[in-house]
Amino acid sequence: MEQSYDSLNNNNLLSKLSYHKNNLSKTHKRLVDYILQHKDHIISLNISQLAINAQVGEATIIRLAKHLGYRGFADFKIDLAIAISDHSYENDSLVDGKIDTNDDCYTVAKKIVNQIASGLDENLKVFNQEQIESAARAIFNARKILVFGMGNSGICADFLQNKLARINIEAYSHANTHFMYTQASLLTKADVAIAISNKGSVYETIKGLKIAKQAGSTCICITQNIESELTQYADCVLQTGQVKQASHSDNLSIIVSQLHLCELLYTQVVLLNYDKAVNSMKKTIDALSLRV
């Protein structure tokens, strides 16, 4: 480690780590990058899990903690938890990103557009073609599709369900958890369940996918947190990018990132049998335009 710095108090731990990381060795920089990028769930990991996820040795973690003035990883993690809590409180705003209360309407509009574009760019950074194509094939070959999510993720579930239904794929979405659970329990190995959750920590969504997995269906999840409990029940994990400056789960950039993957899935399914999809879509368009 090239540079030493003073013991840190919990109030500025995150900012200090971010500021000094470029002065650290390559291994310690990788560790700090992982901590900063996954701070929302880092405190739930033990030292062995963190070492595996960050691709460093346990000794590296201990050395970093001691270099910061802590007796060990446990003490470091306690202050990290406090810092994360303080950081979340300080950033608890009703508006997102770098929007200022003095911005005029056009400036706000431009900043929102930039933030959405940035979120989509983050999607491309974590793009996994193999997982996308595998999920699309499973949907294409499935007897029935069940899509679900809670809150704004439920809106994305309805969007995907509607897109699939328009090309004659039997797809359903349920915001009512009782319907979600009962329908998930009736799935078979010929079916597919798709769960959508930004952080992958919503109880109802996790339970729904677990039931679908136990029923034998192919399970797909769309989430930003690829180490969440939700992914444990997924055969295909489709990751959304980490949206910068997002302080709320209803941030538009998060929703658009999920919709982007839903649209990509739909498009890949269409391309597996383009002529059939076009014919089905034409029938639905004709039905909507029919005058009586």
Q: Which of 164, 258, 149 lies closest to 208, judged by CA?
A: 149
pLDDT reported for residue 88:
52
* Whether residue 151 sits in one domain with residue 225: yes
CATH number at residue 79: 1.10.10.10
pTM: 0.67
* Whether residue 215 sits in one domain with residue 159: yes
The percent of residues above 90 in pLDDT, for the chain, comes to 50
pLDDT reported for residue 248:
52
Locate 18 and state its tokens: 């971010």
* Whether residue 136 sits in one domain with residue 38: no
Tens of pLDDT, residue by residue over 121-170, are: 999 999 999 999 999 999 999 999 999 999 999 999 999 999 999 999 99
In a domain, 176, yes or no: yes
* Whether residue 285 sits in one domain with residue 171: yes
* Whether residue 206 sits in one domain with residue 74: no
Tens of pLDDT, residue by residue over 66-110, are: 888 888 888 888 888 777 766 554 444 445 557 777 888 988 888
* Whether residue 82 sits in one domain with residue 14: yes
In a domain, 5, yes or no: no
**Most confident of the ranges 1-10, 91-100, 234-243:** 234-243
Q: Which of 188, 159, 184, 179 lies closest to 262, judged by CA?
A: 159
Given a cut of 60, is residue 199 above it in pLDDT? yes
Tens of pLDDT, residue by residue over 23-70, are: 788 888 888 888 887 776 777 778 888 888 888 999 999 988 888 888
* Whether residue 73 sits in one domain with residue 139: no
How far is residue 113's CA from residue 124's CA, in Å, rounded to a whole number?
17
* Whether residue 80 sits in one domain with residue 204: no
Determine contact, residues 136/269, Cβ cutoff 8 Å. Answer: yes
In a domain, 146, yes or no: yes
* Whether residue 85 sits in one domain with residue 225: no
In a domain, 267, yes or no: yes
In a domain, 96, yes or no: no
Q: Domain boundary residue among 33, 55, 90?
A: 90
* Whether residue 186 sits in one domain with residue 63: no
Q: Domain boundary residue among 90, 106, 139?
A: 90
In a domain, 253, yes or no: yes
* Whether residue 268 sits in one domain with residue 162: yes
In a domain, 53, yes or no: yes
Our count of domains for the chain comes to 2
Residue 83: domain span: 10-90
CATH number at residue 223: 3.40.50.10490
* Whether residue 67 sits in one domain with residue 202: no
pLDDT reported for residue 2:
39
pLDDT reported for residue 37:
79
In a domain, 235, yes or no: yes
